[in-house]
Amino acid sequence: MDIQNTQSQMRKGVLEFCILSVIRKGEVYPSDIVEKMKLAKLQILEGTLYPLLTRLKNSGLLTYRWVESNSGPPRKYFVMTEQGLAFYSELENTWKELADAVYLITNTIENVEEQPNNQIEENETQPNNQF
Amino acid sequence: MKKVININFQGRVIPIEESAYEMLKQYTESLSKFFANEEGKDEIINDIEGRVAELFAETLKKGATCIGEADVNNIINSIGRPEDFETEDMGILQNNATNENNNNNNQQSNNFNNNNEPRKLFRDENNKVLGGVCSGIASYFNIDPLVVRILSIIFFGIFFIPYLIVWIAVPSTAVQQIGSMRKKLFRDPDQKTIAGVCAGLANYFGVNVWIPRVIFLMPLIIKFLDKLTDWDMAFTPNFMFVSVSPGVIFTYVVLWIVLPEAKTTTEKLEMKGEKIDINSIKNTIQNDMEGFSKKAQQWSMNINSQVSSSANKAFGSASSVANDASQFARKTSSSLGDLLILLVKIIAYFFGGLALFVAIVTLFSLGVAFTTALPLKDYLITQGWQNILAWGTLLFFIWVPVIGIVTFIIRRVTKSKANSNYFRWGFSLLWLIGWFCLIGFFVSLKNDFRYKNNPTENSLQINSNISLLEVKGKPLNKYNSSWYKFDLGDFGNLDEDTIFIKNYKIRIIKSTTPNYQVTMAKMANGNSKINATATANKINLNIKQVDSTLFIEKGIAINTTDKFRNQHVLITIAVPVGKRIKINSIFMKSVNFNTTSFSSDDDFDDFYYGNDGESFSYNNNVEYIMTEKGIKRTENNKPIIDEDIDNVDIEENYNDENDDSNKKNKLENYKQSREALKQQIEQERKDLEQKKKQLDEKQKEYNKTIDSTKTTAIKQTTVIPTISTLKVNNDSNKTIVASCDIIKKRFLI
């Protein structure tokens, strides 16, 4: 079993969700997404990001707009569609369930009983706070 | 001093150093290769390129006069190399079967770039002579490639097959770099003549297309030259054509099936295996080599320190040394383990390759054997349906499974998955057709052999004024000149249009008249009694007498119009009593008397001659004499007892009043000596038995004395014996118990 492989598998699943969550907040330029994710210590290469954006765009979750830039050719800014918003809320629900489940499992049942309930709730809300 | 060029990159004019430009170009090419099968490929690449251009513009804005290599490197690092891209896109790509390669490449590259990974064996493309196998192994062990090369040349024979396997199985260093993919064998549809196999091979081995083509056409060329020049190249043409030509076709067909056609651009690039990034190959190898030498240094230092420290401690306590040694073992085991694994891998490759090679060669030679028999077909098979069935049997029943199995093996080895069901069903179906052909063929052939003729006996004129008849094979000059043609061993000799089969037997019987008599009975099979008789009548086996020699032709002539219908001839030579017969050795060699020719064989049971149940093993070049009791071996014109006692009844001969006293004495002597020998053996056996008895007795005595000494020893002890010593002997248990009592008593007193 390759640790690298497993790690990237884990990242893979959430990457899309994180990107969508960044775009949800308004029109963004791809390199802004990279910056924002870097702030959250979630590294992503632009080489990974661009194909992903194109695919999301092609499936109708995103759309883009050409914005004139003061230097050089116009730049592509991405924005979320209605469909994308619906898709995102679905993903958000799934993520919450998953995060709870993972938390419960990794902290084992006995530990959970000892811990105060509000700490779990805090944990739940954490992803939303971050983005 | 570097040359700077201006490029128009995504709508921006960018001054860039030439070397940096090369890097950039390679990078974009690697991207386009990586996304070759991606939907919206152009858009992705445009976006990335646009971003790169933007970053360039930013760099220039900051005051840089032009873009250098470092800038390009920085930007590439921030955007990422294809092998660093996360493989989440593979879920979608997997629908496309061809993209599996991409995936593998990706994973391989990921592994490769991780410095923590154990060192891997690669073919070294930079120092290669042939395929880079030797230099790859050399760089793995950090030794001079020349050493490996010399060794491999010395052991060329045993190294050749593993070399090829390692060549194909081990990825090259070029594989692991940016976007450049592993060179793969494909059929090349762009340059194809038949199926593009030759072109694909040429691409793979990096040679001109005509080289594999010439190799494949070699047998045809030789054949053509042979025809053209009418040049008798000894046995080569036949040999070449028979064994190489099917080999070539076979190889071609197998490759045709096994190799996928390079359809997409990615596959075409993979086929040509263009090296994308020379710089990065260099870098990676350098890094790798440095890392390895560091590792090696560390390792050797470890060993040194450990050895010296353990040596120091050796003067101290032994336990600390052991402890140290175990530590040392632990540390070295990982590197040694790697080495061992590699060795095991090499050995496994070697034996695996050898086994596969043998299997493939066996299958192939099986096919060739049947194909070689093809020229014989005309002598057996009538035109029309039977001929078609014969061809069908050869193609579908023999070659189809051979090709199928070989293909299967190769597919297994290369782990090719595409269309395996399609091939399996195809082959099964063809083989089924083969079965039908085979059955049909044998049924129709069986029909042709159904009836037998009624044999008639032809007497031959023999001059009987001789006392010795020598049987010889007829010397036929034409065989000598055509020695390189098909020699089918016992079956016969094949000439241009005639085959001579040795399907005849010679029987020697006692003549009722004072003359030699030779009779010949011809037999054959056919699809009707009339045809069988007609075929039998056509048999023309020349038997000629010249003085005291009887010449028999080497075989029954069968040509393409008179097919083989089990024509056989029984030659009966009646030898009068007191006269001799000798079978010539040359004749023997070709006709093989020992196994087939002399006995009254079961084949002829239904033949009106009946059988006298006698079976002789005849020796060639030895005279035999006919006596009243049958045929005997002779010496100086007189019958002697055959050394082979099985065949000659000694007892009867001995009682025969006609036999002379000489023979009697001999037999007497033999009997006596045998008796004496028997007695001697008996005597020795008795002696042996006696000695054995004595030995047994002595053994018993010996055992007894041991027992007694033990018990006495215990009796004599004044100290209370421990329980363990008391259990020494089971036999003496009672005495021991008794002695214990005595000792106790004594002690108590």
pLDDT in the model for residue B707: 54
Question: Which chain B residues touch A8 with a CB distance below 8 Å?
Answer: 86-87
Inform me whether the pLDDT recorded for B208 exceeds 80. Answer: no
Q: Is the distance from CB of B583 to CB of B505 less than 8 angstroms?
A: no
pTM: 0.37
- DSSP class of residue B174? G
Residues B525, B454: Cα–Cα separation, whole Å: 10
Q: Judge whether A52 is closer than 8 Å to chain B, CB to CB.
A: yes
B83: number of Cβ within 10 Å: 22
Find the closest chain B residue to A48 by CA distance: B85
pLDDT band at B611 (very low <50, low <70, confident <90, very high): very low
Helix (H) or strand (E) holding B235: none
The CA distance from B285 to A80, in Å, is 45
Buried b (16+ CB within 10 A) or exposed e, B443-471: ebeeebeebbbebeeeeeebebebebbbb
Does B65 have pLDDT greater than 80? yes
Nearest-Cα distance to chain B for A49, in Å, is 9
DSSP, collapsed to helix, strand or coil, labels residue B526 as: strand
Q: Among A11, A46, A71, whose Cβ lies nearest the Cβ of B80?
A: A46
pLDDT category, B33, cuts 50, 70, 90? confident
Q: What is the phi/psi pair of residue B543, to 5°? A: -125, 125
Cβ partners under 8 Å of residue B407, min gap 6: B254, B257, B258, B423, B427
Provide the pLDDT for residue A92.
92
pLDDT at B744 (0 to 100): 57
Per-residue pLDDT reduced to its tens digit, B681-697: 899 899 999 998 999 88
Check pLDDT > 70 for residue B379: no
Residue B175 and residue B27: Cα distance in Å, rounded? 15
> Which is more confident, A86 or B629?
A86
Smallest CA–CA distance from A77 into chain B, residue: B47
Q: Does B39 touch chain A (CB under 8 A)?
A: yes
Q: Which of B110-119, B647-656, B679-688, B714-723 has the highest mean pLDDT?
A: B679-688
Q: Please tell me the distance from the alpha carbon of residue B383 to that of residue B371, in angstroms, as a whole number.
A: 18
CB contact (8 A) between residue B80 and residue A52: no
Cβ within 8 Å, pair B51-A30: yes
A75 — phi, psi (to 5°)? Answer: -110, 155
Distance CA B253, CA B639 (A): 66
Which two three-digit tokens encode residue B251?
């190889």
For residue A54, the chain B residue with the least C-alpha distance is B44
- Of the pLDDT bands very low, low, confident and very high (cuts 50, 70, 90), residue B573 is confident
pLDDT mean across residues, chain A: 79
Q: B13: nearest CA in chain A?
A: A72
- Is the ipTM beyond the 0.85 threshold? no
State whether residue A116 sits within 8 Å of chain B by CB.
Answer: no
The answer to whether A52 contacts B89, with C-beta atoms less than 8 Å apart, is: yes
Q: Cβ–Cβ of A47/B53 closer than 8 Å?
A: no
Q: Which residues contact A57 (CB under 8 A, 6 or more apart)?
A: A63, A64, A78
Computed over every residue of chain B, the mean pLDDT equals: 66
Mean pLDDT value of segment B525-536: 82
**pLDDT for A93:** 92
Tokens, residue B336: 């040694």
Best CA proximity match to B35, nearest among A7, A47, A92: A47
Q: Which residue has the higher pLDDT, B390 or B89?
A: B390
Q: Is B15 exposed, middle or buried (0-12, 13-18, 19+ CB in 10 A)?
A: middle
pLDDT at A97 (0 to 100): 92
Beta strands at B630-635 and B498-501: parallel, antiparallel or unpaired: unpaired
Residue pLDDT, tens place only, A49-61: 888 888 888 888 8
Per-residue pLDDT tens digits for B449-493: 888 877 777 777 677 677 777 777 655 434 433 333 344 444 444
